[in-house]
Structure 1
């Protein structure tokens, strides 16, 4: 009984950590819809063979209220697909604030560093070419930066298209990241929606020391800024209509590869809490079914395991529904139920893939 209780303690800690998480997922209203006087903003969009998606991004971005008041740097890292179409569009639009910068296969981190080095803005906003920004995306980020102690801002990302399982898993990750940032325990963020002060980026020497990793531009910067300025320096953009939208993987293979790449980011973790949290999440996933095999044939132990596993599932479901509502993504009860049952198996497969290759290449 004592040993079995010890095996359940990680579940209890997880439940305690996220029991009230839904309270941290409320949406705030924008107070200002103008660019503060003297504030210079640069949006950096690194891309590689995603030119068609970038054209869609540009069409969405140009409808934003502040689109003409910020500098936009499109950093081309060796793309060839549809590049002429992009050049023609930029030439026909004639917008001086949007610039295409060509580089040759330097990688995403180097593209961001180069963009920062030539940027005129003191506030740098980064996103991916395969996203669509919400109407108040820029205003929400600037509102968050109104606190001078904030050095980096992360924000919400909503799923679109693709597999329903991928969308639910994605929202669970995004919600957990948001909650932990607001609890001043930042662990993860999305490179699709992040911003930082140019001075802070320079103070931590950008991505120096991490260029050999295939991904992790978001998590690496989060940890470097957190280490330099403290967890309270990480803010979160949770304002209305300020999230970005990204498409989900359409096949199981794509989903597994993406999650393998994300899960491999745990190798960047340097603080004890982040390391323990990654182990905690993995343990709870792998033991969701395993704990029952250990409990058999004792009926009291099986009932004890059932109560705590169902409580954890209730916490997860509540977080997913709350986040889905805030980003206006419809979810069906059967999808959430099925995802809850399938997730432990999915995590086991991802974990095995990470063991084989923790640093997979990224397109």
Structure 2
């Protein structure tokens, strides 16, 4: 009876996501004129020599006024040629480009997880734009990216904007599965934010007013967490400015990055993400994380009980069919928005293993320590 109750609750939760996703208006950034405001793009990077030039070229192609665009890149102790590549690009940048070296701003070593936060804080303090947009050094942005953000910021008087992110250039089955899984996070995070529950966002595509960042105190009270700078900032700004945090559901705002190439990299990333759930000041986020884990772990328990002939096989298969069917609808909707229709055939393969993956990540999260960019974090 407990397994059935959990299954029913999850079904209604997914139905809620479907309905709210459909109701969430898609914004056409091409339908309005280019806004007049100054934007500062903040990029904290470490060892991105293979990717950074593509992002810089993307920023050079923005339809948003280059005269109103400032880009501040903070190099976090890169040990490759990242810095020299950026400095060479400065000669042909059509926007204002500042390159800062984090080592010049920190007199003493920081705990490993605080370098990126410090880099962003330094950049925001020096920014001349009223609107801050952030992305990562391994991302690609479309030419309407800044324009779509600026329009939404002005028309909605937003203080925080969470943008869509997806993967591109997938080659292996593993990478295609990651695209589907990530779409579920983007879609559910969008719906929950739109309904007043800020539980997920991604630093690869964020925007916020400089005023809101300063009023929230930046990251000064999140130094104890090596991860979660994006979601913690969202929750703080949402408390200061209720109803002014939004998800930008616009195809022009989509940011692309690459999936992890190995299972080890993927697990390290997911451990890093999962490690922050119990630090959320907004307990709704923690409760949702627990619910998702329980709903997936219950499938694993149900499978074991069926194998031990302690749970009816027919009942278990009915629950699986209903769950998979309603998940398929939601994931299809989100993938179509992200222009990732080619990944729809990978939904079922992911569903067959997803409950095992969530159970595994949930169980190993309590184990301290993971790696990011060559640094060991605790």
Match of 2:188 in 1: 176
Match of 1:284 in 2: 295
Match of 1:128 in 2: 136
TM (norm. structure 2) is: 0.87
Q: State the Cα distance separating 1:257 from its structure 2 match.
A: 1.2
Q: State the Cα distance separating 1:45 from its structure 2 match.
A: 0.7
Change (3 A) 1:318 1:204: same
Indicate yes or no: 2:216 matched with 1:218.
no
Match of 2:151 in 1: 143
Match of 2:85 in 1: 85
| Aligned 8 A contact 1:156 1:193 in 2 | yes
Change (3 A) 1:360 1:225: farther
Match of 2:334 in 1: 323
Structure 2 spans left out of the alignment, 5+ residues: 104-108, 374-378
Q: State the Cα distance separating 1:7 from its structure 2 match.
A: 4.4
Match of 2:16 in 1: 17
Structure 2 CA distance for aligned equivalents of residues 60 and 209 of structure 1: 34
Match of 2:376 in 1: none
User: 1:189 is paired with a residue of what secondary structure?
Assistant: coil
Deviates more, 1:24-33 or 1:48-57: 24-33
Indicate yes or no: 2:145 matched with 1:109.
no
What is the number of equivalent residue pairs in this alignment? 356
Deviates more, 1:188-197 or 1:318-327: 318-327
Q: State the Cα distance separating 1:319 from its structure 2 match.
A: 1.9
TM (norm. structure 1) is: 0.90
What are the Cα deviations for residues 171-209 of structure 1, in whole angstroms up to 9, with x where unaligned?
111111111112222211010000101111111101012
What are the Cα deviations for residues 253-295 of structure 1, in whole angstroms up to 9, with x where unaligned?
1111111111222133222321110011101111123224446
| Aligned 8 A contact 2:166 2:256 in 1 | yes
RMSD: 2.3
Structure 1 CA distance for aligned equivalents of residues 25 and 364 of structure 2: 35
What are the Cα deviations for residues 131-151 of structure 1, in whole angstroms up to 9, with x where unaligned?
011221111111221245521
What are the Cα deviations for residues 332-351 of structure 1, in whole angstroms up to 9, with x where unaligned?
55421110001111112222
Structure 1 spans left out of the alignment, 5+ residues: none
What are the Cα deviations for residues 139-167 of structure 1, in whole angstroms up to 9, with x where unaligned?
11112212455210001012113411111
Deviates more, 1:17-26 or 1:46-55: 17-26
Match of 1:100 in 2: 99
Change (3 A) 1:304 1:121: same
Q: State the Cα distance separating 1:115 from its structure 2 match.
A: 0.7
